[in-house]
Amino acid sequence: MDLSKLKDLTLEGRPYKAEILKGVDSIDTDDLSIIFPIHYEVSVYATHDVWTLIVTVNYAVQTNCSRCLKEMVDKVSVTSEFLVTETEEDAKLYSGQTEDEVIIWQKRDSYLDELAMSIVITSLPIQPLCSEDCKGLCPICGNDLNKGDCHCSNQSVDSRFAALQGLFDEE
Q: Which residues bind Zn ion (CB under 5 A)?
A: 65, 67-68, 130, 134, 138, 140-141, 143, 150, 152
- Tally: H helices and E strands in the chain: 4, 5
Write phi, then psi, for 77 (nearest 5 degrees): -130, 120
Output the smallest distance, CB 68 to Zn ion, in A.
Answer: 3
- Smallest gap from Cβ 146 to Zn ion, in A, equals 6
Of 75, 76, 6, nearest in space to 42 by CA: 6
Decide whether 148 or 166 has the Cβ nearer to Zn ion.
148
The least CB distance from residue 118 to Zn ion, in Å, is 29
The residue among 98 and 159 lying less far from Zn ion, judged by its C-beta, is: 159
Rank residues 37 and 139 by Cβ distance to Zn ion and give the closer one.
Answer: 139
- In angstroms, the Cα distances linking 94 to 51, 66, 104 are 11, 40, 11
Shortest Å, Cβ 72 to Zn ion = 7
Task: Choose between 95 and 143: whose C-beta lies nearer to Zn ion.
Answer: 143
Kindly tell me which of 10 and 63 has the beta carbon lying closer to Zn ion: 63
Instruction: Confirm if 122 and 115 have CB atoms less than 8 A apart.
Output: no
Mention every residue, 6+ apart, whose C-beta is less than 8 A from residue 98: 83
CB 34 within 8 A of CB 76: no
Minimum gap (Å) between residue 36 Cβ and Zn ion? 25
